[in-house]
Structure 1
Amino acid sequence: MTPLFSSASSAAHTTALPSPWMVAPFALLLLCIALMPLFASHFWEHQYPKVAIGLGLVTAAYYLFGLHHGAAVLHSMMEYVSFMALIGSLFVISGGINIRVKGEATPFVNTVFLLIGGVLANLIGTTGASMLLIRPWIKMNKYRITKFHIVFFIFIVSNVGGALTPIGDPPLFLGFLRGVPFWWVIQHVWTTWLWAMALLLGVFFVLDKKNFARAPKEVAAKEAANETWLFRGLHNVGFLLVVLIAVFLPQSWKIGTEQFSISVTALIMVAAAVASYLTTSKPVHEANDFNFGPVKEVGYLFIGIFLTMVPALELLGSGKGITLTAPLQYYFASGSLSAFLDNAPTYLTFLAAAMGNAHLDVGNPGDVVSYLSSHASYVVAISLGAVFFGAGSYIGNGPNFMVKAIADKAKIHTPGFLGYLFCFSIPILVPILAIVGWLTIR
C-alpha cells in the first residue's frame, strides 16, 4: 500500500505526449536488471546504482529540456518518496521483530506457514508480511532450502495472498483512495483468491514433498530438536500499527509546495521506522541479520524505474492503442505490464482507460462508484491482474526484490532475473493464473 501512489498517466497532460522512443531507457534498465547479473556480475554489483540513476536522469532531462514538462518528473519523485517511505518503514520495523519457530519444517507445516503468510498480507500488507516472515521461513527450512522455497514465498506472501483488502497491495489501496469501498474487493474477489491460493499451495506441497523426501532425516530431526518458540521485539508491532493507521490519514495533509510536497503520512512512517530502529536491541537485529542492504538496492533500482517508466505510463494512459473489450483481456493486459512495471501505476492506468471507454473519470469518486455498479467484472479483472501478476518478476512488486536480497544475504542460491522468469514464473505461475482467470473472470 503506497498512500500517495498515483500514476503519472492520470494527471492532465499540458504538453505533447512523449516520443515512443523514450520508452528505450526503461527497456534498457529492464534488460540490465535481467542480463547484467549473468554476464557482468562484478560490474553490476558495484555499478548498478549509477546505471539506474543515469538512465533515470536521461528521461528526466528529456522531460525538463525537451518537453518542458518538469511537473511529470516531480510527480514521479513524489510517488517514489511515498513508495520508499512505506517500503522502508515496513522493512525496518519488521526487521526489529525476531520470530523463531519450533518443529520440523515438513511439507504440511510449510504449506500452512505460506497460507498464514498470505492471509496476514491482507492485514499488514505484502511488504510487512514478507519482511516479518522471510527470515523465519529461511531458518525453519535452512537444512533443505532451495530456489523454489524463495520463489513460492514471493508468489504467495509477497503478492497473491494480499489480494483481499486495500491494505494488502498497493493497487487495491489506489482503488480505495479513488472511491472503491473498503469491503468491495473481498466481496468480489474471494473465490478467485481461493482458487489461486489453492493451486499455488498445491503445487508447492508436491514440490516440497519431493524435496523433503531427499533431505537427510537425521539432520532434520537434529534441527527440529534444537529449535524453540521465540518472539522478540514485539514492541515493534505498535510501530506497525502506526504505519497502517497513517495510511488512512487525509491525503491532503502535505508539507512543501504545490509542485513538490511530502505527505504527512510518509513523514509519520519514516518517524516510526526511526523510532523502531533506535528502540530495538542489537541482539534482535543480529538475530535477524538485519542490515540496510536490501532496502538500498530497492531504493536505487526503483528510482531508475520510477523515472524511466513515466513515458511508458503516459503513452498507455493516453488511451491510444488500448482497445480492450472484455474483462479477461484487461486481466491479462494489466497482468502482463504489472510483471515488469510496478503494479500500482499499472492498475491505475488500466482503470483509467477502462473508465474512459465508458466516458467516466477515474478522478471522480462518484464515477468510480457508478462504474463499479455497471462494470464490476472489469474492476475485478484489473485488480487481480495487477496483484497476481506482480509476482511475475522481481520488479513487479516492491517486496519481491527485498525478499531476494535477504535470501542472497543468507547465502541462499536464488534464481536470477531470467531464471526466475523461465524456471518458475512462465512455467508455473502464468499457467496457474491463466487457469484461475479462465475459470473465474471469463
Structure 2
Amino acid sequence: MGHAGRLGVFAALLPALLPGSAWASGADGAHMSLLWGLPFAGVLLSIALMPLLAGRLWHHHYGKIAAGWSALFLLPFALVYGVGEAWGEFTYVLVTEYSPFIILLLALYTAGGGVLLKGRLVGSPLTNVALLAVGTLVASVMGTTGASMLLIRPVLRANAFRAHKLHTFVFFIFLVGNIGGSLTPLGDPPLYLGFLKGVSFFWPTEHLFAEFLTCAVILLAIYYVIDSLAWAKETDIPVHDGTHQPLRIEGWVNIALLGVVVLGVLLQGVWHPGEVSLLGQPIGIERLVAMAIFLCVTFASVALTPNALREANGFAWGAILEVAKLFAAIFLCMAPVLAILKAGMAGAAAPLVALTSDAAGAPVPWVYFWMSGVLSSFLDNAPTYLVFFNLAGGEAGRLMTDGALTLAAISCGAVFMGANSYIGNAPNFMVKAIVEEQGVRMPSFFGYVGWAVVFLIPVFVLLTFLFF
C-alpha cells in the first residue's frame, strides 16, 4: 500500500476515533471509541501468532514490533488529542504503572535467580506435586512473581531428564504464578491494590480461603494424575546410586534480599508521606522509595552472588528483557481499553457494564467473577481489579461487609483467571521465557489458552456454583 493509500485508510478511520463535538482530556474513556483498542489487539495477536507464522522475524525483532504497535496508538492519539495529551498519557503509564511494575519484577527476578537448591531432586509425580504445593503456599507470602522466580529453576532441574514435562510448567503457572497468590495482599497485585484502597490485610485470607483451597486441591489432583501417566512413559529415569544427597540452599543472601522486597511492597501500604511530581505526573513518595529499594536489591544481588552460582542455576537476562519490552507495549496500548472500562455506563463498554447489576440495581456476584476474570485474562489483572472494585462502589468498608460476596468475586476473578493466558499476570510470561531459555518448548499463546480452557475453566464454573 502506497503513502496515499495509508493516508486514505487513516482518514476513513479518523471519524470513528474522534470523541465527537468536544475533545476529551487525555484518555477519557467516556469519549473514546472501541477502535482505540486496535493497537492493543495488535500486540496480543502479534504475541499469539507471530512466533508460529514468522518465528525467526519475531524472535529477532519482537521489541521493534511491540514499539510499532505503541506508535500506532500514540501517534493517532497525539493527532486527535494533541501532543501534550499524548505525552501526558505516555508519562502517566511510564511513571505510575510501568516503572513500578518492571523494577519490582527486576528485583524479584534477579534475587530469585540467585537462590540455588542443590541435592538429589528427581521429578517424580510426588516430588513435583510437593514442589507445586509448596510454591502455591509460598506465593501468598512472597508474591506469585517471587515464588515463581524462586522455584521455577529447581523444578526445571528436577525434571531435566524427563521427555514428558510440558504439563508441569503449565500447572506451575496455574498454581504458583496465579492461584497461590490469593490469600494476602502480598500475593498478587490486584489484592495489593485492594489493600491500598482500604481492604484489611487478612480479609482475603478469611474470605478467599475456601475458593483457594478448592482450586488448589482440584488442580493438584488433576496434575498428579497427568504426571503419573506421563511418568509411566519415561524410559530414562535416573537410577539411585545409594549415596545420600541432602537438599540444601545456596545463595542465602538472596533469600534475605527477597525478604527486603516483600518489606518494600508492604511499606507502600502503610506509609504515605505525600506526593511529588515526576515527569509532570504525581507519584507517592513511598512508591519512589520502594523503587529505590528494589533497585538496590537488584544491584546487591548481582554484586553478592557468585557468577558460578548463577551459571549453575541456568540464570540469564534474556527472559526479563523480553518481558520488559513486550509489557511496555502492553501497558501503553491497553490504556484506552482500561479508560473505556473505567467510564462505566458512560463509555463504549456500557452494555458489558450493565450486566453487573440486576433489574433492582443490586450487584450480581457471578457476573463480577467472570467479567473481572475474563478481562484479567488479557488485560493486566491489577488495573482490571481496580475498575470493577470502583464499579462495585469503591468503598472498602462497605465492600468488606455488605458487599463481601461481590468483593470476593472480583478478587477471585482477577487473581485466578490471570492464569488463563500468558499475559494475564506477569509471572506467566516470565516462567514461559525462562523455561524456553532452558530449551524446553512451551505451548504457543493459543495452545496455552487451550490448556486453560480444558483444565481451569471447568474449575471456575464449579466455583461459580459453589460460591458465587
TM-score normalized with structure 1 length:
0.90
Q: Which residue in the other structure is 2:187 paired with? A: 168
- Shifted more, 243-252 versus 129-138: the winner is 243-252
Name the residue aligned to 1:244: 262
Q: Cα deviation per residue 1:60-86 (whole Å; 9 max; x = unaligned)? A: 233334224343332211200000011
Aligned CA distance change for structure 1 residues 193 and 224 (closer, same or farther; 3 Å): farther
Contact 1:104 1:223 in 2 (8 A): no
In the superposition, relative to structure 1, how do residues 15 and 23 fare at CA in structure 2: closer, same or farther (>3 Å)?
closer
Name the Cα RMSD after superposition.
2.0
| Partner Cα separation in structure 2 for residue 120 and residue 223 of structure 1 | 32
Structure of greater Rg: 2
Are 2:376 and 1:338 aligned? yes
Distance 2:28 2:40 in 1: 23
- Quick one: which of 144, 154, 164 aligns to 1:126? 144
Name the structure, 1 or 2, with higher relative contact order (CA <8 Å, separation 6+): 1
**Aligned counterpart for 1:327 among listed residues 365, 380, 383:** 365
Counterpart-to-counterpart distance in 2, 1:42 and 1:260: 41
- After superposition, the Cα gap between the structure-2 partners of 1:351 and 1:243, relative to the gap in structure 1 and judged at 3 Å, is same
Question: SS at the partner of 1:339?
Answer: helix
Q: Which residue of 1 aligns with 2:322?
A: 297
The CA distance in 1 between the partners of 2:307 and 2:276, in whole Å, is 34
Summarize the alignment of residues 18-167 of structure 1 with structure 2, pairs less than 5 Å apart. 18-68=32-82, 69-70=85-86, 71-78=88-95, 79-144=97-162, 145-167=164-186
1:247-282 Cα offsets, whole Å, 9 max, x none, are: 123354657354265722112111111111111001
Mapped to 2, the partners of 1:138 and 1:226 lie a distance apart of: 21
Offset from partner CA, 1:298-334 (integer Å, 9 cap, x none):
0000000001001100101100310112101110111
Task: Using the TM superposition, give the Cα deviation of residue 349 of structure 1 relative to its aligned residue in structure 2, in angstroms.
Answer: 0.9
Match of 1:403 in 2: 431
Given residue 120 of structure 2, which amino acid in structure 1 is its aligned partner? Answer: K
Q: Secondary structure at the match of 1:125?
A: helix
111-120 vs 223-232, greater mean Cα deviation: 223-232
| Cross-structure match for 1:230 | 248
User: What's the counterpart of residue 376 of structure 1?
Assistant: 404
Counterpart CA distance in 1 for 2:54 and 2:112 is: 33
1:275 maps onto 2:300 in alignment: yes
Corresponding position of 2:207: 188
Could you tell me which of 199, 218, 228 is aligned with 1:199?
A: 218
Q: Mean Cα displacement is larger for which, 320-329 or 12-21? A: 12-21
Question: Hey, which bits of structure 1, 4+ residues long, moved more than 4 A?
Answer: 11-16, 222-228
CA contact (8 A) 1:339 1:390 kept: yes
User: Match of 1:169, as an amino acid?
Assistant: D
- State the one-letter code of the partner of 2:455: I
For 2:258 and 2:377, the matched residues in 1 are separated by 27
Percent of aligned pairs with the same residue? 37
> Partner of 1:4 in structure 2?
none
Aligned partners of 1:351 and 1:382 also within 8 Å: yes
CA distance in 1, matches of 2:146, 2:242: 27
CA shift digits 1:29-75 (9 cap, x unpaired): 10111000110000000111011122112222333342243433322
> Structure 1 pair 279/103, CA: closer, same or farther in 2 (3 Å)?
closer
Contact 1:166 1:175 in 2 (8 A): yes
Q: Find the aligned partners of 1:223 and 1:62 in 2 and give their Cα distance.
A: 66
Could you state the TM-score of these two structures normalised by the residue count of structure 2?
Answer: 0.85
Distance 1:90 1:229 in 2: 23
Change (3 A) 1:72 1:226: farther
Q: Which runs of 5+ in 2 are unaligned?
A: 1-24, 358-363
1:358: which partner in 2?
Answer: none
Greater shift after overlay, 250-259 or 320-329?
250-259
- Contact kept? 2:275, 2:282, Cα under 8 Å: no
- Name structure 1 gaps, 5 residues minimum: 1-10, 356-361
Judge conservation of contact 2:91–2:279 (CA < 8 Å) in 1: no
What CA distance in whole angstroms lies between the structure 1 residues aligned with 2:197 and 2:120? 44
What's 2:313 paired with? 288
Query: Is residue 313 from structure 1 mapped to residue 348 from structure 2 by the alignment?
Result: no
Superposition deviation, residue 100 in structure 1: 2.5
Offset of 1:400 from its aligned partner?
A: 0.7
Distance of 1:313 and 1:376 partners within structure 2? 24
Match of 1:428 among 430, 442, 455: 455
Contact 1:127 1:398 in 2 (8 A): yes
Q: Deviations over 1:146-171 (max 9, x none)?
A: 21111000000000111100000000
